[in-house]
Structure 1
Amino acid sequence: MTENTILELAICTVANKPAAAEARRAAMQAVRHYKGFVRWRALNALEQGDMIADLVEWTDKASADAAAMKVQTDPAFAPYMAAITGVTLMQHFETQGTI
């Protein structure tokens, strides 16, 4: 992991996990070309069947903020946004170091 990056954690619920997974893959392909993108880890909750999480790493907060605006109008991201029924957490974190 790159030092001093921004991690974006989004924890959401979805009605149809397989459909959401397909839409998420398409969204990931689009977002990977956004300025400042480092990586995206797609997570599925083991104990709660309708919960997923996305951990997206950005080079800086400005890039994360710009991406948040861009996904609202990016047609490749629309099916994923539609698949999400609720957002439990959407927060940015600054990395302090890794081992």
Structure 2
Amino acid sequence: MSNPEETGLWDTMNLTTERTGIWNDLSSTSISSHITGTYSRLRVMAKAYATPGSSLYRNANQRKAILSELWNGCMRTATTRTAESTITGSIGNWEAR
């Protein structure tokens, strides 16, 4: 964790209504590594939430942030991506993991 509260990624989320992405360094909707990077960070947060002994184990605010951003991210992706859109980056980012 990167801070005394041990909330790590949670504190680095951009939760303003004007944002283009959840994290400022991963804000593109067309660069594949930004999209997969965002979901990778949410996965890390979910693991912290679900891991007994973690400082964020069953933390209600962490849960709310994860679920809210999963929903918002899916909706944002659905409304900003179209079949004609150009996505840049590695095809490996789109493989099921």
Common fold by TM > 0.5: no
Q: Which has the higher strand share?
A: 1
